[in-house]
C-alpha cells in the first residue's frame, strides 16, 4: 500500500511538473519588426507568432517612425526602443532614438525621442537592469548612452564616445575610419561592448547603468583579424564565450570572455561560407541558440544562414552547413522564445520566412510559413 501510494504521488508530481513546464512555454508571442521606411514601409510592424504551428499573422503597422532599423525591448516588457537610422535628427548631425510604451494588445505609443550623438545609429540595447539605452552609430563610428526616466521615456545623452581611426589600412591603402555597428552588455551588466567594423575591434567600456555612464576600461578591446570588420556580437548562455560575426571577412570570431578581468581573447576565427564560394558576400547577424548548442550567422551574397555546432567544453565552433532556401539579403534573423523556430527578415526579398530548428543538429528546415513586409531589417520577440 505504501509503495503504491508513493508511486502514485510521484506520477502526480511528475505530471504536474510537465504541465507547469508546458504552461510556461510562450507559445503565443508578439513579433516586432523594424524596417527601412519608404513607399511601402512606414515604420514598426507587429505580427502574432504561434510557436505551436510556426505561423505568423499578417503584419500591422503599430508605429510610424523613420528607418527604425533596430529595436530593443525593455526588461519589463512594457517599453520598446528604436533607432532612427538617419544623418540629422532634432536639429543635430546625428541619428535618433525613439521610446515607445507597449499596451495590452501590443500596440505602441510614442513617449519621446532623443538624438544618438552621432549619425546613422544602426543598433541599440537596453541594459539588463532597464536603467539606460545604449546605441552604436555607424556614421562616424561612435557609441552613446541615454539614461531612462521612471516612465520608460528617454532622458539626456549621458555618454558619447567617438572612436579613433584604424592604423591598419584598407585594401585601397587608405586609413579605415571607425564604424560602430553594434553594442551589447556583459552578463553582469558591468561592461558595454561595441563592435566597430572599421577598427577590427570589439571596444570594451565600463558601464554604470544607473547613471548611464560609459568610461574607458582596461583591457580596452577584443581584437578580430585585420580587415575582418566585426559587425554584430553575442554571448553564449554560459557567459564564458562570445561570438563576433565579421562583415567584410565573412567569418565568425570566437572569444573567451573573462568576466573578472572584463577581457575578450580570440581563440578561433572561421569562415561563414561554404568551401569554394568566391562571389561577393558580407555577413550581418549572429544569434546563439538558447540551448547554447548552436550558433547561426547570416550571409548576404551567398544568401544563407550558416549553422555552427558549439563545443560544450571550449565554446569553439564547427561548421554544420547552410540553409538558403528563399533567403534574399538576410539583414537580420532571430530565434523565437521556445527555441524551436528561426525567423529570417529578407531585406531585398520583402518578406519574413520561418524555419524549423532541429534540436539535435541545429539544421534549419524550410516551412510554408511567411509574411510579406517591405525591407524588414529587425525581428524581436515578446511573450504575449
pLDDT score recorded for residue 9: 42
Taking residues 234-262, report their average pLDDT: 98
Of 262, 294, 317, at which residue does a domain stop? Answer: 262
Taking residues 198-223, report their average pLDDT: 97
Of 262, 283, 301, at which residue does a domain stop? Answer: 262
Domain assignment of residue 203, yes or no: yes
Domain assignment of residue 132, yes or no: yes
Cα–Cα distance list, 86 to 63, 122, 162, 329 (Å): 17, 9, 18, 21
228 plus 335 within the same structural domain: no
Tell the burial category of 232 from Cβ atoms under 10 Å away from its Cβ (0-12, 13-18, 19+). Answer: buried
120 plus 258 within the same structural domain: yes
258 plus 276 within the same structural domain: no
Mean pLDDT for all residues in the chain = 94
Q: What is the dihedral of CA 209, 215, 216, 218, to 10 degrees?
A: -40
Cell of 20: 507547469
> Which one is predicted more confidently, 58 or 172?
58
pLDDT score recorded for residue 171: 81
pLDDT tens profile 74-90: 999 999 999 999 999 99
Asked whether the beta carbons of 202 and 189 are under 8 A apart, the reply is: no
Range of the domain at 175: 96-262
**Count: domains in the chain:** 2
pLDDT score recorded for residue 321: 98
Residue bearing cell 538576410: 330
170 plus 198 within the same structural domain: yes
pLDDT score recorded for residue 198: 96
* CATH number of the domain within which 194 lies: 2.130.10.10
pLDDT tens profile 33-61: 999 999 999 999 999 999 999 999 999 99
Taking residues 233-249, report their average pLDDT: 98
359 plus 237 within the same structural domain: no
Q: How many CB atoms lie within 10 A of CB 84?
A: 24
Cell of 47: 505580427
Is the pTM higher than 0.95? no
105 plus 189 within the same structural domain: yes
Indicate the pLDDT class of residue 6, thresholds 50, 70 and 90.
Answer: very low
Indicate the pLDDT class of residue 172, thresholds 50, 70 and 90.
Answer: confident
225 plus 373 within the same structural domain: no
Of 230, 262, 294, at which residue does a domain stop? Answer: 262
Cell of 109: 505609443
Domain assignment of residue 49, yes or no: yes
CA 180 to chain CA centroid, Å, is 14
Asked whether residue 199 carries a pLDDT value surpassing 70, the answer given is yes
pLDDT tens profile 127-161: 999 999 999 999 989 999 999 999 999 999 999 99
pLDDT score recorded for residue 14: 43
204 plus 115 within the same structural domain: yes
pLDDT tens profile 334-373: 999 999 999 999 999 999 999 999 999 999 999 999 999 9
pLDDT tens profile 277-299: 999 999 999 999 999 999 999 99
Domain assignment of residue 42, yes or no: yes
Asked whether residue 91 carries a pLDDT value surpassing 70, the answer given is yes
pLDDT tens profile 7-37: 344 434 344 443 444 446 678 999 999 999 9
pLDDT score recorded for residue 169: 87
CA–CA dist 105, 384 (Å, integer): 9
Amino acid at each position: 500500500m505504501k509503495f503504491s501510494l508513493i508511486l502514485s504521488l510521484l506520477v502526480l508530481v511528475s505530471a504536474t511538473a510537465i504541465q507547469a513546464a508546458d504552461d510556461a512555454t510562450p507559445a503565443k508571442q508578439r513579433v516586432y519588426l523594424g524596417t527601412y521606411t519608404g513607399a511601402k514601409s512606414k515604420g514598426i510592424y507587429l505580427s502574432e507568432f504561434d510557436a505551436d504551428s510556426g505561423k505568423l499573422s499578417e503584419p500591422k503597422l503599430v508605429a510610424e517612425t523613420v528607418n527604425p532599423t533596430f529595436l530593443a525591448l525593455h526588461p519589463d516588457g512594457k517599453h520598446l526602443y528604436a533607432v532612427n537610422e538617419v544623418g540629422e535628427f532634432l536639429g543635430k548631425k546625428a541619428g535618433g532614438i525613439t521610446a515607445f510604451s507597449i499596451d495590452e494588445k501590443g500596440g505602441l505609443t510614442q513617449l519621446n525621442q532623443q538624438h544618438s550623438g552621432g549619425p546613422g545609429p544602426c543598433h541599440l540595447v537596453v541594459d539588463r537592469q532597464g536603467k539606460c539605452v545604449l546605441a552604436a552609430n555607424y556614421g562616424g563610428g561612435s557609441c552613446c548612452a541615454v539614461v531612462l526616466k521612471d516612465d520608460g521615456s528617454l532622458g539626456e545623452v549621458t555618454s558619447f564616445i567617438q572612436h579613433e581611426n584604424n592604423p591598419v589600412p584598407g585594401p585601397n591603402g587608405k586609413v579605415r575610419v571607425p564604424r560602430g555597428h553594434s553594442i551589447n552588455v556583459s552578463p553582469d551588466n558591468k561592461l558595454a561592448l561595441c563592435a566597430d567594423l572599421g577598427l577590427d575591434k570589439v571596444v570594451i567600456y565600463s558601464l554604470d547603468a544607473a547613471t548611464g555612464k560609459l568610461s574607458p576600461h582596461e583591457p580596452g578591446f577584443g581584437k578580430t583579424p585585420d580587415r575582418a570588420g566585426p559587425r554584430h556580437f553575442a554571448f553564449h548562455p554560459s557567459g564564458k564565450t562570445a561570438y563576433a560575426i565579421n562583415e567584410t571577412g565573412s567569418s565568425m570570431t570566437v572569444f573567451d570572455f573573462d568576466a573578472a578581468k572584463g577581457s575578450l581573447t580570440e581563440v578561433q576565427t572561421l569562415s561563414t561560407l561554404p568551401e569554394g564560394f568566391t562571389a561577393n558576400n558580407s555577413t550581418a547577424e549572429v544569434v546563439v541558440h538558447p540551448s547554447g548548442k548552436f550558433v547561426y550567422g547570416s550571409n548576404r551574397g551567398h544568401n544563407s544562414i550558416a549553422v555552427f555546432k558549439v563545443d560544450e567544453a571550449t565554446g569553439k565552433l564547427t561548421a554544420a552547413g547552410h540553409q538558403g532556401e528563399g533567403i534574399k539579403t538576410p539583414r537580420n534573423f532571430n530565434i523565437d522564445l521556445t527555441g524551436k523556430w528561426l525567423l529570417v527578415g529578407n531585406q531585398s526579398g520583402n518578406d519574413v520566412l520561418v524555419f524549423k530548428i532541429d534540436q539535435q543538429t541545429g539544421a534549419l528546415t524550410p516551412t510554408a510559413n511567411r509574411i510579406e513586409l517591405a525591407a524588414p531589417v529587425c525581428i524581436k520577440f515578446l511573450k504575449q
